[in-house]
Structure 1
Amino acid sequence: MAPLLIGISARIYYPQAPVADTGGVFTRTLHYLEQSVAHWVLKPHVLALMIPAIEREGLLQPREVNLADYARQLDGLVLQGGNDVSPRSYGEDPMHADWTGDRIRDRYEIELFRAFLAAGKPVIGICRGCQLINVALGGTLYQDIPTQLPEAIGHRDLMRYDQQFHDIELTPGSRLSQLYGGATHGEVNSIHHQAVKDLGEDLVVEARGVPDGVVEAVRWRGSSYVFGMQWHPEFMAGDAPDPRRLGGDPILLDFLSAVAERKERR
């Protein structure tokens, strides 16, 4: 059986000035993949491949290498977490200098997402990836939850990182709820300070934070499989130590099942 080929969008590291103080490879722009994401995706008969960004200022120009070529050759796409989505990608100015985001990565991932969407290939978004899906479909974001939603619970604790958890409510009857035996409540990790504000076109909410109602998961009602979640399922893979926690395997296996079904139809 031919393996499923799952593309994963690249995180981007930019050299910090003065680069001489860092030295070595850190004087160069790096495209990288967080190991936990790759290990979460990798299963028997599944290969994970990082898709490098193509930017106007690079050695290769978009006219020379088309991201749509990846969408044609690969079977599915994972948009991994990372830097903020730039407010300018959804028509706003940054409210704070620390929230300018990564406009270069935005352009690359939006083009990549749209290419997979046009090809009818399944897409899943993790944290920033969920926000990127919303923006690519015309939605907006809260630039900073504590500032714009001061009544919200804490959604990020840098000292606790992936050990920061909170409750969510799953939409009854939603596909996400069905993956967890019809559960309507659960617990997930939380490492984000931005969140979905106005929903993108044809997106529906499948989970919200408790008790603040912050959007935690979205699904596209269009013709192909698109799902985004604010939490990091790669940090919750395997058996959940707490029965309330939503282990990462059901989400991945549902995604891979959609990928295999799409590939078989093709």
Structure 2
Amino acid sequence: MDQVLISFDVDGTLIRSIGEDANAFHKRAFSYVMKQIYGVDGTIDAIKHHGSTDKQVLINTLAHYGVPPSQSEPRVPEATDKMLEYARLHPEEVSLGLEILPGVAALLQELHSRKTVLIGLVTGNLEEIAWMKMMALGIYPFFSTPQFGGFGSDHIERGELVKVARRRAEELFPGGIKSHFHVGDTPADIQAASYGGAHAVGVCTGVFSALELTEAGKGNKHGVTILTGLADQSLFLQTVGL
């Protein structure tokens, strides 16, 4: 049974930040970690971090505040544990300032109904936090069971996460994977798809333009498709050969 693997980025692809509390949970978790582990009062809003894994965001933000990577990196495992501690202490904050993007719930539900489609995540979020977001926003049931993906807790480089997701899918769902599509809203997602051996599907639902996503996809021998978003279900299904 040839299967189609579709991995989705989370922030900017499936969900977006809105209002005064935009992405408040994640921001607060990072600030908590920086204060508790490094003694730094700071916010990830101090740097541009779209497309980065959580570990990269932490290291780069601390560098902005004067803590060099040589000092921050050795304590990253301790820091990620502390971030999860914050998440478990404040589950009521998970969906604060977040909403599902148009068409996402309906598309995931349709993909979930197809027996040959495997649906997972590839995100810079730590695994537990990524699934907490999916649960809080009501789309967790539409992912393949058992749940799988590649996460910021697995590796600091996003391209490696695409490979991790495919390897886990192959282990969990025997039968062979015919094709792999990775969906994301940043140039980093497009490049990660290429590195990980997947067809890149760029969506213009974040802060990057179609041109920027197209440029990032140059040289991807597995293919690149740029969409305005995920609201046009028929177009997406056509893109992934369904």
TM-score normalised per structure 2: 0.39
Higher relative contact order (CA 8 A, sep 6+): 2
- Larger fraction in strand: 1
TM-score normalised per structure 1: 0.36
